[in-house]
């Protein structure tokens, strides 16, 4: 391990303990030893963010992106600082760059919606103030506020639509898991019953193929059942992993909706 990585390790330990000053010290020492490592700047940016020193966090995040334009965390660090600094247009532009690299990144997508919601809220307030100051000269109008509310409503509707789509896919996967488990159980029972037959039995054994039945040897049917059981086990395993992924995606989408609906009233 290099001396710079040792400093980074010490910084990570301090950061995990929320000792941000110490973490900044160690990451700075790592940077002195290796100015080309983008991770050191990313970690120091996160430490500055922990202290709410958003300008310093933004500077380090920009350097991180400069050193490695494909490092997604750099865009998230920078956009987070820009949002906190009120640089919403800059944050949205940064997030678009990050999403161009990883369109399915949940952190970037969530922050993108928050930044847009904050911008809409700011626009709504500005519109309200402008309307108030000129009310003696111009007739009142709710068009601008309506446009802002409509934009937010569309964002929420799109998220809800994505959530419904994920929920439908989740239900289909659940049904396919149940189907695969039943098929495996039936094959297990069939194999158990087949094993009860005498090995050299003259009993005729048939294997179902679609709507037909084909005379087969016990060994052939055993081999077929073994392969079917393995296929069913793999199918259940793959579908279970997909179900877990969909569960995580639904939770993320639900959280995005909560964040988006809360943002305007929190301003």
Tell me if residue 158 falls in helix, strand or coil: helix
pLDDT in tens, 110-138: 888 888 888 877 766 555 555 554 444 44
- Provide the percentage of residues in the chain whose pLDDT is more than 90: 48
Work out the average pLDDT over 238-252. 90
Kindly tell me the sign of the dihedral angle through the C-alpha atoms of 240, 243, 249, 252: negative
Distances (CA, A) of 64 to 59, 78, 81, 188: 9, 9, 14, 56
Cβ-proximal residues to 83 (8 Å cutoff; 6+ apart), any chain: 91, 111, 114, 115, 118
Kindly tell me the sign of the dihedral angle through the C-alpha atoms of 71, 73, 74, 79: positive
The reported pLDDT for the residue numbered 118 is: 81
Q: Tokens at residue 55, please?
A: 């300008």
Q: For residues 175 and 9, what is the distance between their CA atoms, to the nearest angstrom?
A: 46
Work out the average pLDDT over 78-90. 93
The reported pLDDT for the residue numbered 253 is: 77
Poorest-pLDDT segment among 19-33, 123-137, 244-258:
123-137
């Amino acid at each position: 391990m290099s001396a710079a990585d040792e400093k980074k390790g010490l910084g990570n330990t301090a950061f995990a303990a929320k000792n941000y000053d110490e973490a900044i010290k160690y990451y700075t020492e790592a940077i002195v030893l290796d100015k080309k490592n983008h991770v050191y700047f990313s970690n120091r940016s996160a430490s500055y963010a922990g202290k709410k020193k958003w300008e310093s966090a933004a500077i380090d995040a920009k350097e991180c992106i400069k050193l490695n334009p494909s490092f997604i965390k750099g865009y998230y660090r920078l956009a987070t600082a820009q949002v906190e600094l009120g640089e919403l247009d800059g944050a949205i532009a940064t997030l678009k760059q990050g999403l161009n690299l990883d369109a399915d990144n949940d952190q970037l997508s969530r922050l993108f919606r928050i930044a847009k919601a904050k911008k809409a809220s700011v626009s709504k307030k500005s519109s309200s103030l402008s309307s108030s100051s000129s009310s003696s000269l111009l007739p009142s109008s709710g068009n601008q506020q309506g446009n802002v509310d409509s934009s937010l409503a569309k964002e929420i509707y799109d998220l809800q639509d994505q959530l419904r789509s994920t929920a439908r896919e989740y239900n289909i996967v659940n049904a396919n898991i149940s189907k695969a488990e039943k098929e495996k159980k039936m094959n297990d029972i069939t194999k158990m019953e087949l094993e009860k037959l005498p090995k050299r039995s003259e009993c005729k054994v048939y294997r179902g193929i679609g709507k037909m039945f084909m005379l087969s040897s016990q060994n052939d049917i055993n081999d077929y059942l073994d392969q079917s059981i393995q296929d069913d086990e793999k199918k259940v395993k793959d579908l279970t992993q997909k179900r877990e992924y969909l569960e995580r995606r639904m939770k993320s989408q639900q959280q995005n909706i909560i964040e988006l609906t809360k943002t305007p009233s929190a301003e």
